[in-house]
Structure 1
């Protein structure tokens, strides 16, 4: 009597596990994509919020003008399909078709897992070496990609490991060349200060410099103001509006960049950090602020960095709205 070899548990559950991880990854990246496209704040947690938001708003987080998370969502959706579709075929009804789909989709899973793992590894290099921030979403996605590769390699019996390693080698070479080519172009734009424009022709502001803010003023404002920015700043002062901020706050820096150096000098700004220039911590404490920046306009408060178009609407500004700069999507 021949004893039938039992199948390891990882071979039985590898596809469902890959599918579950892929679905979670799809939901995660879809949330990030929708948030970016609609200009909503991404929930990052209290301690890492600034760093996380800065990473997700950096030039490295956009490809062909679209959020990188959009391409991640497509990749996760594909991995979910490759892993779960064969499970929908009942082997008792059509075993030959089930086996055929399993063989082909394992190859696609191997290709996808290899490409995602290598690309994620490069993004981790960008995160820690170039940006110097902490992004839990990015780290989680990289972990998912590595899990895909491990589950694909050890989640089934491979007849020919030589073919497996050859596939990994070819996919790795193609992915590496594509990734380096893509990000070398982004690097040239950043280093050459090539402006990135949105659909309205506005220049997208650059992220916070990769260095600590120095009191009392923090990072230097690098944008220059136009007539519309200056007029809006003067209007906000005239109506008694206030902006509460801190020199070390990255989002406050974004707000400064939107106005430009000349216009921000006219903005009714209240510095809340004691060591900041003209710091008024007592005023900020009495105001009971929940975060920076916070705008107070016509008796109402608005938290977070506001586009100049939004400030114009909230304040009843009637002048030119030909603003030069925009927030990253």
Structure 2
């Protein structure tokens, strides 16, 4: 009597495990997408003055093609959930059709897992060497991607192992080249898009290491309205909590312009980075600041870069409003 070989447990549960892990990844990236789109602050406990999740979300790497990077991660994880569950949900009853669907979805799962793992590896490099922040969400997402790759390879019996390595090589190279192409402009200079008769749009791309004394150089100039608003904010006791290394803090400076920023820097700004000039880390801890920049105006908190029209409105400013720049 010939005993039938039992199916390894990982082969039985691999699709379910893949769907569960991808579902967790979708929850994380979905949450970050909402926070990014609404201008909120992600829940992330870090030591005052240290870079955290919100600094990652405000970095140039957090936006791709004008949309939050987390949104693309969310779509990738949802795709993995669908591919993992498709043969389990759409059971036609025909062995050939089911087998074809299983084979197709396994190859697509393999391609997706390889691409996600390579891209996550690049982001971990950026997180450690460029942004220099601690982001549990980012690290968790990277671990999810690697776990999906391991489960995809071990979750079934592959007839041709060599084809897996060939696929990994091709997909990995394409993903890496595409990633480098997408982020090729991150280290370029500031972009000021001007339309005649309209305020100019500011887009900041970090270039070089920031100086602890002032961050990056402010290259825009202030008009009468910017200087008047800055003076008004100083007069009413408004505060801007920031860190010299924060790209979005510099973007806020660029919107004000050099002359107005001198007023902000003297009477409004609170430096939260311990190594920054005139750092006031204890004040930042007391204010429970979670991300930079954070404005406190008339007792209310406003997270992220603020357009001057909005600051004028919430601060009760009544002076000229012909502001030169906007986000």
Question: Which category describes the TM-score, using the shorter chain as reference length?
Answer: 0.7 to 0.9
Separation in 1 of the partners of 2:277 and 2:304? 20
> What's 2:94 paired with?
94
* Match of residue 301 from structure 1: 300
1:266 alignment counterpart: 263
Equivalence for 2:185:
186
What is the aligned residue count? 314
Give the one of 230, 238, 241 matched to 2:237: 241
Is residue 70 of structure 1 aligned with residue 71 of structure 2?
yes
Q: Deviations over 1:34-62 (max 9, x none)?
A: 22122112222233874322222111222
Task: With the length of structure 2 as denominator, give the TM-score of the two structures.
Answer: 0.81
Q: Which moved more, 1:44-53 or 1:95-104?
A: 44-53
Task: State the distance in 1 between where 2:58 and 2:244 align.
Answer: 18
Give the TM-score taking structure 1 as reference length: 0.81
1:304 is displaced (CA, Å) by 3.8
Please, what is the CA RMSD of the aligned residues? 3.4
CA distance in 2, matches of 1:198, 1:137: 36
Tell me, in whole angstroms, the C-alpha distance in 1 between the residues paired with 2:226 and 2:280.
25
Moved more, 56-65 or 225-234: 225-234
Equivalent residue, structure 1, for 2:287: 289
Could you list the runs of 5+ residues in structure 2 that have no partner in the other structure?
none
Matches of 2:62 and 2:214 in 1, distance apart? 24
What is the match of residue 195 of structure 1?
Answer: 191
CA deviation vs aligned residue, 1:258-314 (integer Å, no higher than 9, x gap): 4233102233426578998788899x69xx6333866554x4332544512321111
Segment drifting more, 247-256 vs 144-153: 247-256
SS of the residue corresponding to residue 128 of structure 1 reads helix
- Listed one character per residue, the Cα deviations across residues 305-325 of structure 1 (whole Å, up to 9, x for unaligned) are 451232111122343253424
Question: 2:144 maps to what in 1?
Answer: 144
Give the match's secondary structure for 2:185.
Answer: helix
Structure 1: any 5+ residue segments left out of the alignment? none
> CA separation in 2, counterparts of 1:33 and 1:118?
21
Mark the CA change 1:198 to 1:119 in structure 2 (over 3 Å): closer, same or farther: farther
- Answer yes or no: is 1:56 the counterpart of 2:57: yes
Q: How many angstroms apart in 1 are the aligned matches of 2:309 and 2:214?
A: 25
Query: Structure 1 residue aligned with 2:222, among 216, 220, 226?
Result: 226
Counterpart Cα distance in 1 of 2:39 and 2:317? 22
Contact kept in structure 1, 2:215 and 2:245, CA below 8 Å = no
